[in-house]
C-alpha cells in the first residue's frame, strides 16, 4: 500500500490520505477516528490534546462479544473483525453494547502495535464464547460515558468541561483512588476493575465541581482525624496529593492543583514559608496545640485546657484529639497565658483582700483565663489576664477624684461595707456605675484600697439602685457553681435565669441583680442532682443511678452548663430504705 508502518501508527496525513485512497473511504472520516501524533508522545484526537498515557497501547483491548458478532458475518476474521476507536482509550473499560469488562492483552511481538485482531485474538467459536462467559458483567461508568460524550462534542458538567479531557479524567480517577481505596492506596497497585471503581467514585465528586471536590477532601480529612492520627498532606490526601506533588509529573494537572493547595492551606496546620504545590504560604493560617506550643514554649496541657475554655479546641476528656484552629486567635489565647496573674497574687495586684478579689471573680468582673467547668488544672483556673486587671483598675481609678487627705466621713470600701451592710462588690458596682457622687482616691495609694466612699451615701444608693439579690446569693440559693449560674444568665433560650439588668448612670458599666421571686420560681421548676440528693438525704451517686434507671433525662447537660439540670416535675419520688 506504499504506507510506512510508523507513519500509519502516528496517523500522519500522507498515511491517512494513502489509506483512504486504497480503501475508497473519505479521509475526513479517517482523521476523525484517528489520534494523530504530534511528536514527543502527544496526540490530537478530535481537537483534544492527549498524552500517550491516555491511550491503552501497548495493550490491545477488545470486547469478545463484539468480535463474536463480527465473526458471525462469515469470512476471514482479518477482514470482518473491526477495531473500535474507544477501545484504544485507557478510560474506556466496559463495552456499552454488551455490558462486559473489556479484555486487555499485553504486547508480545513487535507488530502487536497494529492491534490486528485476527492475530492478537486467535480465539474462534467456542474459545471466543469462553472469553465472553469469563468477562465480568457491569454497566459503563459515568466517567466513561462522559469521555464518549465529550468526544462527540456534547456538553457535560461545567467544571469538568473547563479542564482538558485528560485533566478531567486524571483528576477524577486520582480522587477516586483516595475515596474508594483510602489514602494508602497507590496507583501502581490497582487493577483495571479497581480503576473502573475509582472512576465511578471520583466522578460523583468532580461532576459537582470545585465545591464537591472541597467537600470530599474535608470529609476525607475528618474521617482520618476520627481514627486518632495526626494528619499530614501525604497520609491524608493520598494518591491525588502524591500525583500533584511528584517532581516526575511534568504535565499540567489543571485546576485540581489550586483546589488541593487551597484545601491544604485552609484546613491543615502549615508553617509560614512552606511551599505547597508550587505556592508559598506567606502567613500561617492555622495552628495545632503542638505547633502553638512549639512557637510559644507553653506547657501543652495548660495550653490545650485554655484553648478549650475559649472554644478553639474540644475539651479533652478521653485523650487529646488532634485539631487545628485559627492561628491569630490561638496566639491571643497564648498571649493571655503569658501575660496573666495567678489568683493567689490577685489581691496584691489589686491592692485588696483575698475575699474582695474573689468577689470580683465571682461577679464576673474579672474572668479566669479558663472556665472552671472544664476542670482545667494549674494556672488555667487560677489566673486572670493582666489586660483584664488593668481594665478594671483603670475604670476604678477614673471613677474617683484624687485627694491628698481623706475627709472624715470618707472611708475605704471595706469599711463602708461594714457600716452600710453591703458587700464590697456591691459598692464597687455603685462606684463604677456612677451612682455615687462622692468617690475619692488617695494620692500615693494604688488600686482597690485607694478608693474612698461615704457610707451614708452608699446606704441611700443601695435602696435606690440595688434591687433584689446579688449573683452570688442567687447562685448559692440554687446550689449552682458560679460558672454554671452565669451560663444560665447568658442563655438566650429556656431554661434561662432571668436577671435584672442595671445600667450605670455614666453609661460605662452594667451589672446584674436577681429577683428573689424569680430565683425561687426557677428553683421550683428546675433542679440538680445535688439538690435532689440533699432533699432526700442520699448520696449524689445514688441519685444519678436511680435517674438513669428511671430514664429521666436532663433538660441541659454538662456540655451546655457544666452539670446536668432536670425539670423538677420529672424527678420521681425516692423511697428511702
How crowded is residue 203: how many other Cβ atoms within 10 Å of its Cβ?
Answer: 24
What pairs with residue 402 in β-bridges? 441
Residue 19 is assigned to a structural domain of this protein: no
Task: Answer whether 56's CB lies under 8 Å from 21's CB.
Answer: no
Could you give the CA distance from residue 351 to residue 335 in angstroms, rounded to a whole number?
24
Three-class SS string for 272-324? CCCEECCEECCCCCEEEHHHHHHHHCCCHHHHHHHHHHCCCCCCCCCCCCCCE
Residue 317 CB partners (closer than 8 Å, separation 6+): none
Say yes or no: 489 and 541 in one domain.
no
Mean pLDDT of 541-552: 90
* pTM (predicted TM-score): 0.66
Residue 15 is assigned to a structural domain of this protein: no
Say yes or no: 77 and 170 in one domain.
no
Q: Could you say which DSSP state residue 381 is in?
A: S
Cell numbers at residue 494, please? 429556656
- Is the sign of the CA dihedral 52, 53, 59, 61 positive or negative? negative
What pairs with residue 556 in β-bridges? 565
Q: From its phi and psi, is residue 286 left (phi > 0), alpha (psi between -120 and 50) or beta?
A: beta
DSSP labels for 526-549? EEEHHHHHHHHTS-HHHHHHHHHH
Could you give the CA distance from residue 70 to residue 257 in angstroms, rounded to a whole number?
45
Q: Collapse the DSSP code of 507 into the 3-class scheme (helix H, G, I; strand E, B; otherwise coil) and give the result.
A: coil
Kindly report, residue by residue over 63-114, the tens digit of the pLDDT.
Answer: 999 999 999 999 899 999 999 999 999 999 999 999 999 999 999 888 888 8
Residue 411 CB partners (closer than 8 Å, separation 6+): 419, 452, 453, 454, 455
In this prediction, residue 316 has a pLDDT band, given cuts at 50, 70 and 90, of low
Q: Last residue of some domain: 462, 483, 510?
A: 510
Task: Answer whether 482's CB lies under 8 Å from 412's CB.
Answer: no
User: Distances from the Cα of 440 to the Cαs of 313, 397, 447, 455, 490, in angstroms?
Assistant: 45, 9, 12, 13, 34
Kindly report, residue by residue over 338-396, the tens digit of the pLDDT.
Answer: 777 888 899 999 999 999 999 999 988 887 775 444 444 444 456 888 888 888 999 99
User: Distances from the Cα of 126 to the Cαs of 62, 67, 118, 389, in angstroms?
Assistant: 17, 13, 15, 92
> What does the pLDDT read at residue 245?
96
Say yes or no: 58 and 178 in one domain.
no
Kindly report, residue by residue over 488-540, the tens digit of the pLDDT.
Answer: 999 888 899 999 999 999 888 999 999 999 999 999 999 999 999 998 888 99
What pairs with residue 510 in β-bridges? 503
Say yes or no: 501 and 412 in one domain.
yes
Say yes or no: 259 and 154 in one domain.
yes
Kindly report, residue by residue over 124-133, the tens digit of the pLDDT.
Answer: 999 999 999 9
Q: Last residue of some domain: 76, 105, 134?
A: 134
Query: Is residue 215 over pLDDT 50?
Result: yes
Say yes or no: 169 and 212 in one domain.
yes
Could you give the CA distance from residue 205 to residue 168 in angstroms, rounded to a whole number?
12
Say yes or no: 501 and 529 in one domain.
no
Q: Could you say which DSSP state residue 448 is in?
A: G
CA 387 to chain centre: 31
> What does the pLDDT read at residue 559?
81
Say yes or no: 169 and 262 in one domain.
yes
Could you give the CA distance from residue 384 to residue 337 in angstroms, rounded to a whole number?
8
Mean pLDDT of 167-193: 96
Say yes or no: 413 and 473 in one domain.
yes
Residue 233 is assigned to a structural domain of this protein: yes
Mean pLDDT of the chain: 91
Say yes or no: 436 and 501 in one domain.
yes
Q: Last residue of some domain: 116, 134, 152?
A: 134
Q: Collapse the DSSP code of 56 into the 3-class scheme (helix H, G, I; strand E, B; otherwise coil) and give the result.
A: coil
Say yes or no: 118 and 205 in one domain.
no
Could you give the CA distance from residue 131 to residue 65 in angstroms, rounded to a whole number?
8
Task: Answer whether 449's CB lies under 8 Å from 440's CB.
Answer: no
Residue 2 is assigned to a structural domain of this protein: no
Say yes or no: 271 and 174 in one domain.
yes
Residue 502 CB partners (closer than 8 Å, separation 6+): 429, 433, 465, 466, 467, 510, 511, 512, 513
Domain around 112: 35-134
Residue 89 is assigned to a structural domain of this protein: yes
Could you give the CA distance from residue 508 to residue 271 in angstroms, rounded to a whole number?
42
Overall domain count for the chain: 4
Residue 308 is assigned to a structural domain of this protein: no
Residue 154 is assigned to a structural domain of this protein: yes
Could you give the CA distance from residue 413 to residue 425 in angstroms, rounded to a whole number?
9
How crowded is residue 479: how many other Cβ atoms within 10 Å of its Cβ?
Answer: 14
> What does the pLDDT read at residue 95?
98
**Best CA proximity match to 166, nearest among 60, 261, 47:** 47
Residue 4 CB partners (closer than 8 Å, separation 6+): 15
Residue 407 is assigned to a structural domain of this protein: yes
Amino acid at each position: 500500500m506504499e504506507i510506512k508502518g510508523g507513519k500509519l501508527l502516528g496517523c500522519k496525513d500522507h498515511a491517512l490520505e494513502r489509506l483512504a485512497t486504497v480503501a475508497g473511504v473519505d479521509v475526513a472520516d479517517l482523521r476523525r477516528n484517528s489520534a494523530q501524533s504530534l511528536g514527543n508522545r502527544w496526540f490530537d484526537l478530535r481537537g483534544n490534546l492527549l498524552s500517550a498515557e491516555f491511550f491503552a497501547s501497548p495493550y490491545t483491548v477488545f470486547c469478545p462479544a463484539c468480535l463474536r458478532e463480527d465473526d458471525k458475518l462469515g469470512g476471514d476474521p482479518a477482514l470482518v473483525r473491526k477495531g473500535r476507536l474507544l477501545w484504544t482509550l485507557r478510560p474506556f473499560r466496559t463495552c456499552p453494547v454488551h455490558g462486559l469488562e473489556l479484555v486487555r492483552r499485553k504486547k508480545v511481538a513487535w507488530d502487536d502495535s497494529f492491534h490486528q485482531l485476527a492475530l492478537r485474538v486467535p480465539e474462534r467459536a467456542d474459545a471466543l464464547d469462553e472469553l465472553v462467559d469469563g468477562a465480568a458483567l457491569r454497566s459503563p461508568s459515568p466517567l466513561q460515558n462522559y469521555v464518549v460524550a465529550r468526544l462527540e462534542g456534547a456538553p457535560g458538567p461545567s467544571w469538568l468541561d473547563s479542564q482538558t479531557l485528560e485533566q478531567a479524567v486524571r483528576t477524577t480517577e486520582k480522587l477516586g483512588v483516595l475515596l474508594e481505596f483510602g489514602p494508602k492506596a497507590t496507583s501502581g497497585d490497582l487493577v483495571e476493575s479497581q480503576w473502573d471503581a475509582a472512576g465511578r467514585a471520583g466522578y460523583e465528586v468532580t461532576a459537582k465541581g470545585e465545591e464537591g471536590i472541597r467537600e470530599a477532601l474535608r470529609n476525607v480529612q475528618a474521617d482520618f482525624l476520627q481514627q486518632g492520627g495526626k494528619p499530614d498532606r501525604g497520609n491524608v490526601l493520598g494518591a491525588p496529593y502524591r500525583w500533584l506533588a511528584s517532581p516526575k509529573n511534568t504535565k499540567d494537572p489543571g485546576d485540581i492543583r489550586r483546589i488541593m493547595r487551597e484545601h491544604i492551606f485552609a484546613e491543615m496546620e502549615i508553617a509560614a514559608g512552606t511551599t505547597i504545590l508550587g505556592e508559598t504560604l506567606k502567613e500561617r493560617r492555622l495552628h495545632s496545640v503542638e505547633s502553638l506550643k512549639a512557637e510559644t514554649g507553653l506547657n501543652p496541657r495548660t495550653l490545650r485546657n485554655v484553648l478549650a475554655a475559649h472554644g478553639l479546641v474540644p475539651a479533652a476528656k478521653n485523650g487529646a484529639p488532634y485539631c487545628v484552629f485559627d492561628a491569630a486567635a490561638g496566639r491571643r489565647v497564648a498571649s493571655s497565658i503569658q501575660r496573666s496573674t495567678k489568683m493567689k497574687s490577685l489581691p496584691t495586684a489589686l491592692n485588696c483582700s483575698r475575699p474582695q478579689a474573689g468577689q470580683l471573680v465571682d461577679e464576673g468582673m474579672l474572668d479566669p483565663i479558663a472556665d472552671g467547668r472544664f476542670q482545667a488544672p494549674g494556672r488555667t483556673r487560677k489566673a486572670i489576664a493582666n489586660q483584664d486587671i488593668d481594665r478594671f483598675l483603670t475604670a476604678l481609678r477614673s471613677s474617683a477624684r484624687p485627694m491628698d487627705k481623706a475627709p472624715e466621713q470618707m472611708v475605704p470600701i471595706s469599711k463602708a461595707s461594714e457600716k452600710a451592710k453591703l458587700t464590697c462588690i456591691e459598692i464597687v458596682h455603685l462606684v463604677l456605675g456612677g451612682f455615687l457622687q462622692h468617690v475619692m482616691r488617695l494620692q500615693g495609694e494604688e488600686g482597690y484600697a485607694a478608693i474612698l466612699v461615704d457610707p451614708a451615701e452608699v446606704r441611700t444608693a443601695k435602696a435606690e439602685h440595688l434591687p433584689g439579690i446579688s449573683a452570688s446569693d442567687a447562685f448559692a440559693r440554687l446550689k449552682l457553681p458560679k460558672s454554671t449560674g452565669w451560663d444560665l444568665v447568658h442563655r438566650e433560650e429556656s431554661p434561662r435565669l432571668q436577671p435584672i439588668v442595671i445600667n450605670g448612670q455614666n453609661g460605662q458599666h452594667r451589672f446584674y441583680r436577681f429577683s428573689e421571686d424569680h430565683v425561687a420560681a426557677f428553683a421550683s421548676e428546675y433542679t440538680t442532682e445535688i439538690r435532689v440528693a440533699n432533699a432526700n438525704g442520699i448520696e449524689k451517686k445514688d441519685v444519678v443511678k436511680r435517674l438513669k434507671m428511671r430514664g429521666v433525662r436532663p433538660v441541659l447537660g454538662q456540655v451546655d452548663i457544666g452539670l446536668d439540670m432536670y425539670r423538677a416535675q420529672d424527678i420521681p419520688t425516692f423511697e428511702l430504705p
